[in-house]
Each structure stands twice: as C-alpha cells, then as structure tokens.
Amino acid sequence: MDVFDAIRTRRSIRKYLNKPIEQEKLSKILEAARLSPSAANRQPWKFIVVTDPKVKEELRAAYDRDWFVSAPVIIVACALPGEAWVRSDGEEYWKVDLAIAMQDLILEAWEQGLGTCWIGAFREEEVKRILGIPDEVRVVALTPLGYPAEEKGPVTQRKPLKEIISYNHW
C-alpha cells in the first residue's frame, strides 16, 4: 500500500474484532509516531498505550462508547506544551505537532490492516485522572486500535477540490 492508497482508503473504524495486535505491528505503528516531524524538532509528545482491560473500562468515564473500550488497545496522545515550539507572536504549535504524529500513526496502522478512530470528544480531566497524567500535560487525542470488524469503502463525503483550493489569492 503506498501513501496515497492509505490516505484514500483509511476510514474511522467503530467496530473491532476481539483479536490481539501483534507486538511487531504495534511497535511499527508507534515508530511511525516517533519519526513524525514537529516544529523545531521539539517532539513535545508522549503516547500512552492502554492494554489493560480494567483501565480501558475505566476510560468509559472519559468517552462512553462500547466500541471504544472494546478495542484491544487504546492510544492516548499527550502533549507537553512546555517543551513545544512557540511562534514569535505567541501562537503555540503543540496541537499541530500532535495532530501530525497521530495521523502518521493512524496511516501506519491502516497499512498494517488495523483500524483507528480519532476521538476528540473526550473528557480530558477524566483521562488525566484515570491515567495519572501530570497537570502540565495536555491530552490531544485518543484512538482505539484494532482489527476492523466493519468494512467501509473509501470516503466519498469530501468537499470537491474546486471548493477548497485557490491559486495565488484567497
């Protein structure tokens, strides 16, 4: 699968098989996140890999969906804003850094035959409490990770190019 194929066919998966993930695959997926670019190469991130069924069940308090807690793994992407690059006008880039790393992780997972679903609608304070995440750390995204138990074709609901691209000026 080339990069464009992965981008074209990847879908959010909200149904997972009860099948463990091979360590080799998990390692490669985490390596994809590690290799991601970040502003000034600060790498202001930590990823928590939740595999303990008890902890996954506790995460319901943060995002209460059966399909979410049923995945064999949940990955929690955390930012360290204090280590991240800040533009001269004060704009903070840690969310951008984390988004790039998450997307690389998600695409590598897809290449390995594994599904994910970016979760943004979680309760951050609950995630931090359950996982013992320090105050100064921010949780940017969660994703379940596992073998898909649903088949979805490539996405069709995207704006057409002519609506989103302009040349030279707005």
Q: Contacting ligand FMN (CB under 6 A), which of 32, 119, 130, 133? A: 119
Q: Which stretch binds ligand FMN (CB under 6 A): 31-39, 41-49, 112-120, 160-168?
A: 112-120
Mark residues 71-110: x for contact with ligand FMN by CB under 6 A, - for none. Answer: ----------------------------------------
Query: Are residues 74 and 57 in contact, defined by beta-carbon separation less than 8 angstroms?
Result: no
Q: How many residues bind ligand FMN (CB under 6 A)?
A: 8
Computed from CA positions of residues 160, 163, 164, 166, in that sequence, does the dihedral angle turn out positive or negative? positive
Nearest to 146 by CA among 37, 56, 46: 56
Q: Following DSSP, what letter does each residue of 31-90 receive, concatenated?
A: HHHHT---GGG---EEEEEE--HHHHHHGGGTS--HHHHHSSEEEEEEE-GGGS-B-TTS
Q: How far is the CB of 150 from ligand FMN (least distance, A)?
A: 11
Backbone angles phi, psi at 21, to 5 degrees: -95, 130
Residues facing residue 146 across a β-bridge: 115
Using CB under 6 A as the binding rule, whether residue 120 contacts ligand FMN is answered as yes
Q: Which residue is nearest to ligand FMN (CB)?
A: 120
Using CB under 6 A as the binding rule, whether residue 155 contacts ligand FMN is answered as yes
Q: How far is the CB of 66 from ligand FMN (least distance, A)?
A: 12
Of residues 40 and 65, the one with the C-beta less far from ligand FMN: 65
Instruction: Using alpha carbons only, give the angle 134, 140, 146 rounded to the nearest 5 degrees.
Output: 105
| Binding region for ligand FMN (CB under 6 A) | 11-12, 117-121, 155
